[in-house]
Structure 1
Amino acid sequence: MSGVVLSNVVKRFGEVEVIRGVDLTVDHGEFCVFVGPSGCGKSTLLRMVAGLEATTSGTVRIGSRDVTHADPSDRGVAMVFQTYALYPHMTVAENMGFGLKMTGHPRQEIAAKVAEAARILKLEPLLQRKPKALSGGQRQRVAIGRAIVRGPDVFLFDEPLSNLDAELRVEMRVEIARLHREIGATMIYVTHDQVEAMTLADKIVVLRAGRIEQVGKPLDLYHDPDNRFVAGFIGSPSMNFVAARRLDGGLLAAPGVAGEPVPGPEVAAPSGDVVLGIRPQHVQIVAGDTHRVDMIEALGGVSYIHLVAPSGEKLVAEQHQDATARAGDRVAVRFDPSKAFLFTADAAGRRLR
């Protein structure tokens, strides 16, 4: 079994603590994605698993082994970086087999493993090409193939698609998902792109400022976020947040979306200031003159209507049709309270349930 267990892991650079007591279990064969904004510590945490960053305190286990202080070469991991890092003077086959060649594996064994990796990644026609004759997506597949031939216990991916254009990113997401299904290995993947996280992951780890905010399956995080940060980070476009006040009798005063108090989500929370969260697909545009249309993103199958409320707060409404409103128009909005969320109004933004 080759799962990964992090126990109270801390990383400091001098006096600066960038990873703050992380506890996490990645099960054998699981595809786990670390996601979060730039500077949240996701790449540092991945490099600690790889052994490329020393662990200040805590333990890192891979399978049954404590590898906290083991060399990267002794951890049974293979890492795919954002940059392809291919040797320009070597062929695809030579690049993929170079690691095994350096560790003294027999030539016949190397050839067999390279051939198998090429079959999995559909690289057979390209084995004799040099990297300069490959597209960006093909180069990234070669980098992944180089990891496959090593037969690691755990694959680590550090934002491997960020250098590719939009079409290639979609193509490579499909390739990586298919690869995981075929070889069934444990994979940990770092990205700042929550769409990649949602489409690839068995488990998502949402990080902020070196701490784990929430861990769960993609749709569990989407439908049941623990706090305002997770609710806003998971989902595209982001959830709308407006200031509100919970009144006696379960009514909600939310000037950003309603001119008068409306029924709020059913939660066990006292009266007082809260933040109302509504996803764009649950905001409906109706006749009225309370909100100004600021901008429209017409994407063909879907349109995103950007609105400004009387309070100055901004909202996005999603329409699965061509938008009839135009920038500068006046409209009104309504929402389904059963689809809304309530959060505390303080900095923690804790979900009210």
Structure 2
Amino acid sequence: MSGLELKNVIKRYGATQVIHGVDLDIEHGEFCVFVGPSGCGKSTLLRMVAGLEETSEGHISIGGRDVTRLDPAERGVAMVFQTYALYPHMTVAENMGFGLKMTGHPKAEIEAKVAEASRVLKLDDYLARKPKALSGGQRQRVAIGRAIVRGPEVFLFDEPLSNLDAELRVEMRVEIARLHQEIGATMIYVTHDQVEAMTLADKIVVLRAGRIEQVGRPLDLYNDPDNRFVAGFIGSPAMNFFEGRASGGTITIDGLGGVQVAAPSSLGGDGPVTVGLRPNHVRLADGDSHVVELSEQLGGVSYHYLTAPGGGRMIVEAHDQQAPRPGSRTGLAFDASDALFFDAKTEARLR
């Protein structure tokens, strides 16, 4: 079994600590995505799993085997980088089989494994080509094929699609999802793009400043975030946040013109509260409380950017093709059950 376990993993560069006691279990065959803003530590954590960064404290186990101090080649992992790192003078087949050739595997075995990886990745027509004759998406598939040929216990992907254009990114997301379904291997994927995380992952790990904020299935994080950071990071467009005031079991949402809703049972007392509403949970209505700044009409969906009475900005998602004029005024409506509440100081979710 090739599950992965991190126990109190810490990374320091001199006196600076960048990974702070991470504990994580990834089951055999899971597709786990590390996601977070730039500098959150997701690539550092992935490189620690790969053995490319030394683990300062804690333990890393793969398939029940402690690999914390092992060299990268002994860990049973294969890594796909942002850059393809293909040898330009070699054919696709030679690139894919080069690692096995260097470790002394028989030629027949190499050819069989390259042929199987080529079948999975639909590269049969390109095996005799050199990288310069391939598109960006095809080169990335070759890099993935090189990892498959090694037969690792765990696949590691470090932002593999960031160099591709938008259309190819979508195509490769589908290819990677299909690959995971076909080979059933444990995969860890790093990205700053929460759309990639939502569409690919069985499990998402949301990181901030070297700490795990929340771990869970994509829709669990979307529907039930533990804090304001996760609520704002997961979901596109991002969640709208408003200042509110709790008093006597009622929250007055100042950023929505003083609308009042019932306070959650976990609220400890009166005081400031942050209220969150996703753009698809708010709708335009009669009234003049908000000023329309801009409308983006994308065909099947539109996004309206509004200015709230207190000066805050918000986004409303709509699925009709009627757009209010910029500068006009509109009211808003929402169901109170869709609102999420957060402690204004700690940013923890109030349920």
Same-fold status (TM-score > 0.5): yes
1:265 Cα shift? 5.4
Q: Mark the runs of 5 or more structure 2 residues left unpaired by the alignment.
A: none
Q: Tell me how far apart the structure 2 counterparts of residues 222 and 203 of structure 1 sit (CA, whole Å).
A: 12
Q: Secondary structure at the match of 1:256?
A: helix
1:267 Cα shift? 3.2
Aligned to 2:92: 92
Aligned to 2:266: 268
Aligned to 2:316: 317
Native 8 Å contact 1:265 1:341 kept in 2: no
Deviation sequence 1:247-277 (CA, Å, 0-9, x none)? 21x3221121133x42235432122210000
1:294 Cα shift? 1.1
Q: Tell me how far apart the structure 2 counterparts of residues 43 and 92 of structure 1 sit (CA, whole Å).
A: 27
Aligned to 2:142: 142
Taking only the aligned residue pairs, the percentage that are identical comes to 70
Deviation sequence 1:36-71 (CA, Å, 0-9, x none)? 000000000000000000000000111121110100
1:145 Cα shift? 0.1
Residues 221-240 of structure 1: pairs in structure 2 closer than 5 A: 221-240=221-240
Q: Tell me how far apart the structure 1 counterparts of residues 257 and 277 of structure 2 sit (CA, whole Å).
A: 13
1:122 Cα shift? 0.2
Q: Tell me how far apart the structure 2 counterparts of residues 17 and 308 of structure 1 sit (CA, whole Å).
A: 40
Deviation sequence 1:270-315 (CA, Å, 0-9, x none)? 2221000000011111121111111111111100101111101111
Native 8 Å contact 2:50 2:77 kept in 1: yes
Q: Tell me how far apart the structure 1 counterparts of residues 250 and 19 of structure 2 sit (CA, whole Å).
A: 41
Task: Provide the aligned C-alpha RMSD in A.
Answer: 0.9
Q: What amino acid maps onto 2:349 in structure 1? A: R
Q: Tell me how far apart the structure 2 counterparts of residues 295 and 313 of structure 1 sit (CA, whole Å).
A: 14
Native 8 Å contact 2:2 2:62 kept in 1: yes
Q: What amino acid maps onto 2:321 in structure 1? A: D
Aligned to 2:347: 349
Residues 193-272 of structure 1: pairs in structure 2 closer than 5 A: 193-248=193-248, 250-259=249-258, 261-264=259-262, 266-269=264-267, 270-272=269-271
Q: Tell me how far apart the structure 2 counterparts of residues 271 and 97 of structure 1 sit (CA, whole Å).
A: 66
Aligned to 2:73: 73
Q: Secondary structure at the match of 1:85?
A: coil
Q: Secondary structure at the match of 1:334?
A: strand
Native 8 Å contact 1:9 1:23 kept in 2: yes
Q: Tell me how far apart the structure 2 counterparts of residues 264 and 180 of structure 1 sit (CA, whole Å).
A: 45
1:19 Cα shift? 0.3
Aligned to 2:285: 286
Q: Tell me how far apart the structure 2 counterparts of residues 214 and 324 of structure 1 sit (CA, whole Å).
A: 37
Q: Tell me how far apart the structure 1 counterparts of residues 171 and 162 of structure 2 sit (CA, whole Å).
A: 13
Q: Secondary structure at the match of 1:323?
A: coil
Native 8 Å contact 2:257 2:308 kept in 1: no
Q: Tell me how far apart the structure 2 counterparts of residues 71 and 290 of structure 1 sit (CA, whole Å).
A: 62
Q: What amino acid maps onto 1:258 in structure 2? A: G
Q: Tell me how far apart the structure 2 counterparts of residues 309 and 273 of structure 1 sit (CA, whole Å).
A: 18
* Corresponding pairs, count: 350
Q: What amino acid maps onto 1:350 in structure 2? A: A
Q: Secondary structure at the match of 1:104?
A: coil
